[in-house]
Copies of this chain bind each other. A is one copy, B any other.
Amino acid sequence: MTITHPRGFRASGVAAGLKASGNPDVAVVVNDGPDYTAAGVFTGNRVKAAPVLWSQQVLKGGVIRAVVLNSGGANACTGSQGFRDTHSTAEHTATVLRSTKKMMIGAGDIAVCSTGLIGELLPMDKLLPGVNAAVKALAADGGPRAAEAIMTTDTVAKNAVAQRDGWSVGGIAKGAGMLAPALATMLVVITTDASADNETLDAALRAATRVTFDRIDADGCMSTNDTVLLLASGASDRQPSLAELTAAVTEVCHDLAQQLIADAEGATKHIAIEVAGAASEADAVQVGRSVAGNNLVKTAFFGNDPNWGRILAAVGTTSAAFQPDRIDVAINGVWVCRNGAAAEDRSKVDLRGRDVQVTINLREGEMNATIWTTDLSHAYVHENSAYSS
């Protein structure tokens, strides 16, 4: 139920000592072909970590044969030395895969992903021996160990699979804070044994991330390292249509995105903000993000308070088409606001459970979108004020 479920992939995760905890922190994923097509989506942050800049270059070559990932350090804001370290990591991984696994592979075929604290150089004296161990540990059932090795403040490893007739898509993900529109401190590797060219993979991946990872928001903070890679081995010898492939990749991305929100730092609520009746999908997304990112809305839900007035105030900061006196809002099925004013008694709203459903009907059109977010809790403040110390 992970990236090694589709045929043609091996993976591993080992402890190299980058994390003070001694937990696994280096992962390798290898595509054994026969195809090596790939696609990627990266952070929209203009301050990009060295591994993001590197992997974007690799992708331009059209082939990804392997991915090397580390937790315990983001290698972001590390200047030219940081970029040289990423390059060295890819070179070293290629050398080890050539010498011990007889793979015909160069550094330019290897994507690199890093996650952890920003602004510090990676301990290369630990990372490179870790790569040796990870290559040695590569296994056809190694996906779950790779998923563990990329965890940072995640409390559980994230794996997913979409099974189709004769082919499948698998994925791993990490990320528990800095989840925001246009991705997050989020590393995701998705594999498939379907056969597809780069253009098809790119179209499927962009369609999938647009309605999944791009619609979760834990704290509105966009990371420097976000990377989502899709690797195709063609080992199934099946060639699904773009629609079929998109549906399967979207299924895996949705599953992983929900796991990310469920495990977001310090969250006590899993909140779906559904915006209906919008004049356009862009309007629906804008309104959903504004509400999802509003600290007063998020603290209210932490306090089990159905404070719909704060929701309207957040809607009011957008440029979406709406009339203030036409908006309806339901919280967990109770229409606490109709026509922009109080309606059903707010005391009827039961917020004791973890799942919260907010529905905002703008009554301007037929479009809708859902944004998933979390509450803002004491634990969020605690985790994020203590992270680097």
Chain A residues with a Cβ under 8 A of chain B: 44-48, 74, 76-82, 117-121, 177-178, 219-224, 293-296, 299-300, 302-303, 305, 307-310, 312-318, 322, 324-325, 337, 339-342, 376-378, 380-382, 384-389
Contact = CB atoms under 8 A, between A and B. Distances in A.
Given A118-B312, A377-B381, A324 B48 contact: yes
Contacts of A384: 295-296, 299-300, 303
A77 B47 contact: no
A382 B378 CA distance: 8
A308 B117 CA distance: 10
Query: Chain A's interface: helix, strand, loop or mixed, by majority?
Result: loop
Interface centre among A44, A313, A316, A322 (most CB of B within 10 A): A313
A133 to B, nearest CB: 28
A119 B303 contact: no
Contact of A120 (B312, B342, B385): B342
A154 B307 CA distance: 20
Contacts of A221: 294-296, 310, 313-314
Given A47-B315, A307-B387, 17 more contacts: A45-B316, A45-B317, A46-B317, A46-B322, A76-B313, A79-B339, A79-B340, A79-B341, A220-B293, A221-B294, A221-B314, A223-B313, A224-B316, A295-B295, A296-B384, A305-B385, A380-B381
Contacts of A388: 300, 305, 307
Contacts of A389: 303, 305
Given A325-B79, A378-B382, A388-B300, A308 B119 contact: yes
B295 A76 contact: no
A316 B47 contact: yes
Which 4 pairs show the lowest CB-CB distances between chains A and B? Answer: A118-B309, A303-B385, A47-B316, A79-B341
A295 B46 CA distance: 19
Given A47-B316, A79-B341, A316-B47, A220 B295 contact: yes
B79 A316 contact: no
A46 B385 CA distance: 34
A279 to B, nearest CB: 14
26 contacts: A45-B313, A46-B324, A47-B316, A47-B324, A74-B309, A76-B313, A77-B312, A78-B342, A79-B325, A79-B341, A80-B325, A118-B307, A118-B309, A119-B308, A119-B341, A177-B296, A178-B296, A219-B295, A221-B296, A221-B310, A221-B313, A224-B309, A299-B380, A303-B387, A307-B387, A380-B381
Contacts of A302: 381, 385
A164 B168 CA distance: 77
A309 B378 contact: no
Contacts of A376: 295, 381
A115 to B, nearest CB: 12
Contacts of A324: 46-48, 77
Contact of A222 (B44, B76, B82, B313): B313
Contacts of A300: 384-385, 387-388
A219 B294 CA distance: 8
